[in-house]
Amino acid sequence: MTAPHPTPRPTARRELTVAVLAAAAAGGLALSSGGQGWADVTVTRQPPLPPVEEVLTGSQLAPLVPATGLLLLAGAVALFAVRGWGRVVLGLVLAVAGGVLVASGVGALTGSVAVSLDDLGDQVGLGQATVSSQVGAGWPVLATVSGVLGLLAGGLVVLRGRRWPGLGQRYERAPGSGPAPAAAPRRPSRPESAEDRHQAAWKALDRGDDPTDETSAPGR
């Protein structure tokens, strides 16, 4: 007889929920941040060409931001499907994605992300132009926050993920572990009445039997 699966503790379910929500929030924030303008760029071209002003998004300055956002969202869903060491590996992937987001956000805030003429596309007069940029703090900070959430989610998965339940485990039942099905109740027998004997006689006549013959009577 196979022993039933142990019921996951409420603490494990809460930890799994926290990790999933943190990874999903990190992915959503990263995608939102990557689609917004991070830097106001001014390009000074040779006279008589006027200067060009442009806003560069996070995905242009740091292309890994939206990519890691999608990875975190996919990882949040995959946490329900994988178990054991596979979940530990997934936690490491989430932590790495969070680290990339932190590095991208901090790099933009500290000026490590440089704006080049290649980011501005093909425009007339950019060959001898000079570029100056001003990075806003809001969206890079949001990317950094999403990275921290990804790091926390990944670390929690690595440390505790092997103890968490998987998809559908709550409803699993080992063979033979459930109670035996109850037998259908039997209707109590009752003495044969005159009406029953009358109906039996008519049925015997329909079959071509002699109801007065005791050997062919029902129950004999």
- Kindly list the domain boundaries of the chain, sorted by start residue: 10-39+56-116+136-167, 194-220
Check pLDDT > 60 for residue 34: yes
Q: What is the pLDDT of residues 69-79, one digit of tens each?
A: 999 999 999 99
Q: Of 95, 100, 102, nearest to 144 (Cα)?
A: 102
Instruction: Give the pLDDT band (50/70/90) at residue 95.
Output: very high
> Cβ(81)–Cβ(25) under 8 Å?
no
Predicted confidence at residue 171, as pLDDT, reads: 38
Label residues 87-126 b or e (16+ Cβ within 10 Å = b): bbebbebbbebbbbbbbbbbbbbeeebebeeebbeeeebb
Q: Is 138 in contact with 39 (CB distance < 8 Å)? A: no
* Lowest pLDDT segment from 61-65, 90-94, 184-188: 184-188
User: What confidence category does residue 196 fall into, taking pLDDT thresholds of 50, 70 and 90?
Assistant: confident
Kindly state the tokens that stand for 187.
């209707």
128 pLDDT more than 80: no
Where residue 184 falls among pLDDT bands split at 50, 70, 90?
Answer: low
The segment with the largest mean pLDDT, out of 97-111, 162-176, 179-193, is 97-111
Asked if the model's pLDDT at residue 1 lies above 50, the reply is no
Query: If you average pLDDT over every residue of the chain, what do you get?
Result: 76
Q: In the chain, what's the furthest Cα-to-Cα distance?
A: 129
Cα 202 vs. chain centroid, distance in angstroms?
A: 70
The SS3 assignment for 56 reads strand
CA 36, distance to chain mean position in Å, is 25
Percent of residues, the chain, with pLDDT higher than 70: 61
Question: What average pLDDT score do residues 141-158 get?
Answer: 94
**Res 139: pLDDT:** 87
The pLDDT of residue 78 is 92
Strand-pairing partners, residue 53, are: 42
